[in-house]
Amino acid sequence: MSELLVNAGLGETRIALLREGRLADFQVARDSEAMLTGNLYLGRVTKVLPAMQAAFVEIGAPRAGFLSLAEARPLSAKPEPAISDCVREGEALAVQVIREAEGEKGPRLTAKVTLPPELEARRKIARPPALLAAAPSLLERVLQDLPGDVARIGIDDGRTAEAARAWCRARRPELESRIAIVPAAFDTALEEEIALLFTSRVPLANGGWIAIEATEGFTAIDVNSGGFTASGGREQTSLAVNLEAAQEIGRQVRLRGIGGLIVADFIQMEDAAGTRLVQSVLTESLGGEVPADVTLSRAGLGVITRKRARPPLSRFSESCACRAPLTPESVALALLRAAEASARAAPGRPLTARAAPEVIQWLAAHAPGLELERRGLGRLKWESRTGPREAFDVSTG
């Protein structure tokens, strides 16, 4: 059975798709994030770069958007138009964000948009840069693309559940009856699976593991056999570990939202047929939703190039490395989830949370906008203590 679970928590919404009880997809949207993907803007072309066949478009974001020739609409009937045949510096242009800004790069744009009449009327009177229409929320996007085989949609917040029902009535009425309010959408086992997505080492069932490390330019993945030994000897051991690792690598790449260049160091195999089988499993495990190219040499070096389809989970760490410490916000939100669980177990009791100074500072600064009383945390106090940032505790009394 497949089910969608929604944790509409304090400061963030986490959405997990489970298939046969196992995590198959995971996405997060935080109130503090200004996600642009899907937004429609009336922008202004600030620079045309013929050598790059691209243009920069001001949309009101911190960085100008990047519009490639492939995403531009030709203004002429030339069989092979150039970017200068599509846009002019200074002109107003309706664009949509198709990828978030990353590092020093601005958001990626497309000009291949069709505006409904109400937005066309707004475009005619707007002065660029201007937001014409905001993208749907994360939950609305997930519901829009939700497979029909999902039997239940469990949401742990009544207000969010009612909003989801209203959205489904208007757009996907067949889903409305599947929505149920659940007191705690994410159980302990699911939380443990999610926690693995923020670590560098992921265990394999046979005793081996994969190690994931992101850098500025690519993601490196190392396959280790641990103490596992197959009965058929070294070649069978290598094949067994590589097959399981290939399955898990594809899953972790999808769940973590990893894109760009990925280099996986598998255990070397002599058998060409075994190498082809591992490559096939790796390709299949990556899924077909996001374009990816996969090659694997007999020396065990796998190279994956995968389109960056959504912001990676590594954005919640202080650097691109998977083992980097979580941001104070990430730890604070985890603390609040633990506090909500304590409040449900002991309603009305005062609660005290203890955490690192930077986590407490984040809580103190953001508490006024988090609706703590509505979530049963009106009597929550917090105290600063020394220790690792990710260590905190919540107690009653």
Look up the CATH number of the domain holding residue 149: 3.30.420.40
Residue 158: per-residue pLDDT? 94
More confident residue, 231 or 135: 135
**Percent of the chain topping pLDDT 70:** 96
362 in any annotated domain: yes
* Last residue within a domain, chosen from 279, 313, 347: 313
Residue 247: per-residue pLDDT? 97
Our count of domains for the chain comes to: 4
Strands 219-224 and 150-155: unpaired
282 in any annotated domain: yes
Do both 346 and 211 map to the same domain? Answer: no
320 in any annotated domain: no
58 in any annotated domain: yes
389 in any annotated domain: yes
Do both 157 and 78 map to the same domain? Answer: no
Do both 342 and 222 map to the same domain? Answer: no
Q: What is the CA radius of gyration of the chain?
A: 24
Do both 258 and 299 map to the same domain? Answer: yes
Do both 108 and 17 map to the same domain? Answer: no
59 pLDDT tier (thresholds 50, 70, 90)? very high
Residue 392: per-residue pLDDT? 94
Do both 203 and 309 map to the same domain? Answer: yes
- pLDDT tens, residue by residue, 327-374: 999 999 999 999 998 998 888 899 999 999 999 999 999 988 888 888
Residue 226: per-residue pLDDT? 84
257 in any annotated domain: yes
CB 13 within 8 A of CB 78: no
194 in any annotated domain: no
Domain extent for 107:
40-132
CB 95 within 8 A of CB 110: yes
Do both 391 and 338 map to the same domain? Answer: yes
Q: Which residue has the tokens 């066309």?
A: 120
Residue 239: per-residue pLDDT? 92
Of the candidates 340, 316, 338, the residue with the CA atom closest to the CA atom of residue 328: 316
- The whole-model pTM stands at 0.85
Check whether 396 has a pLDDT greater than 90: no
- Reading the block at residue 60, the tokens are 């009101």
189 in any annotated domain: no
Of the candidates 314, 294, 312, 290, the residue with the CA atom closest to the CA atom of residue 304: 294
- pLDDT tens, residue by residue, 304-324: 999 888 888 988 886 555 556
Largest Cα–Cα distance of the chain, in whole Å?
A: 75
Q: Which residue has the tokens 């945390």?
A: 377
More confident residue, 35 or 168: 168
Provide the mean pLDDT of the chain: 91
Look up the CATH number of the domain holding residue 119: 2.40.50.140
Alpha carbon 20 to chain centroid, angstroms: 22
Do both 28 and 46 map to the same domain? Answer: no
Check whether 294 has a pLDDT greater than 70: yes
Residue 77: per-residue pLDDT? 62
- pLDDT tens, residue by residue, 148-195: 899 999 999 999 999 999 999 999 999 999 999 998 889 999 999 999
Do both 100 and 47 map to the same domain? Answer: yes
For residue 136, cis peptide bond before it (omega within 30 degrees of 0): no
Do both 219 and 308 map to the same domain? Answer: yes
Strands 219-224 and 179-181: unpaired
